[in-house]
Chain A
């Protein structure tokens, strides 16, 4: 069964600290992996999209890594800010990148405290 599992479920860090969120997937065949940020009460916003040939991709203070062999991805947040408090969702596409076949994770809820 195609699945996307994220860990930890929730995380609390202090402002200015770094953190890393994990995503493991069993989706096959694999096409691309996406990380979304979802603020409370808002729609998801895309952070990165990575294909199987990309090992790392950055978007400002967000850096995503992908190991297609072990089917693992991570999202690293550097020098966290209060505005980083949100849910971070890992999404995997298993059918030629088709948006109709996205498998959504449950997300990691991140709280950044002052």
Chain B
């Protein structure tokens, strides 16, 4: 099993550009999450999903959108990238809402 995978691993954007980060899990987990990790701050939840076709806002959702059309995939979109969105983005999944979370390897995004 690959676990949780993320693409791309690295990306550089110019302010105003858009992009989509893809997360895929092969563990048949119901819950999926998108986090960002910034220096001097703990991981912060952006959006999450409690099942196929559902999405919900986390702690820092502004400037991001998500979709969960298939159970195994969770997409994070940036419609108009800003320098404040420069960060490392992690996707995670869990079988249920209070179970252990499994994390992907991360996507390092730089917005110039």
Q: Which of chain B's residues has its CB closest to A32's CB?
A: B98
Known: A43-B4, A43-B90, A99-B33. A4 touches B100 (CB 8 A): no
Q: Contacting chain A: which of B13-21, B39-47, B66-74, B77-85?
A: B39-47
Given contacts A99-B31, A104-B42, contact A46 B101 (CB under 8 A): yes
Residues in chain A near residue B45, CB distance under 8 A: 100, 102
User: How far is the CB of A32 from the nearest CB of chain B, in Å?
Assistant: 7
Contact of B105 among A42, A100, A107 (CB under 8 A): A42
A49 lies within 8 A of chain B by Cβ: yes
A41 CB–B CB distance under 8 Å:
yes
Beyond A97-B97, A99-B97, whether A43 also contacts B92 by CB under 8 A is: yes
Beyond A102-B45, A104-B43, whether A97 also contacts B103 by CB under 8 A is no
Bitwise, A78-114 to B at CB < 8 A (1) or not (0) is 0000000000010001001111101111110000000
Say whether B100 contacts A49, CB under 8 Å: yes
Residue in B31, B45, B100, B101 whose Cβ sees the most chain A Cβ within 10 Å: B101
- In the assembled complex, which residues on chain A have CB atoms less than 8 Å from the CB atom of B44? 104
Q: Note all chain B residues with C-beta closer than 8 A to A41.
A: 105-106
What's the Cα separation between A107 and B39 when bound, in Å? Answer: 11
Q: How far is the CA of A39 from the CA of B110 in the complex (A)?
A: 21
> What is the distance, in angstroms, from B112's C-beta to the closest C-beta of chain A?
21
Interface membership of A14, Cβ < 8 A: no
Q: Which of B1-30 contact A (CB under 8 A)?
A: 4
Across-interface contacts of A97 in B (CB, < 8 A)? 97-98
27 contacts between A and B (CB under 8 A): A4-B42, A32-B98, A34-B100, A41-B105, A41-B106, A42-B106, A43-B4, A43-B90, A43-B103, A43-B105, A44-B43, A44-B90, A44-B103, A45-B103, A46-B101, A46-B102, A96-B98, A97-B97, A99-B31, A99-B98, A99-B99, A100-B48, A100-B56, A103-B42, A105-B42, A106-B42, A107-B42
Q: Pick the 5 closest A-B CB pairs, nearest first.
A: A104-B42, A43-B103, A97-B98, A104-B43, A46-B100
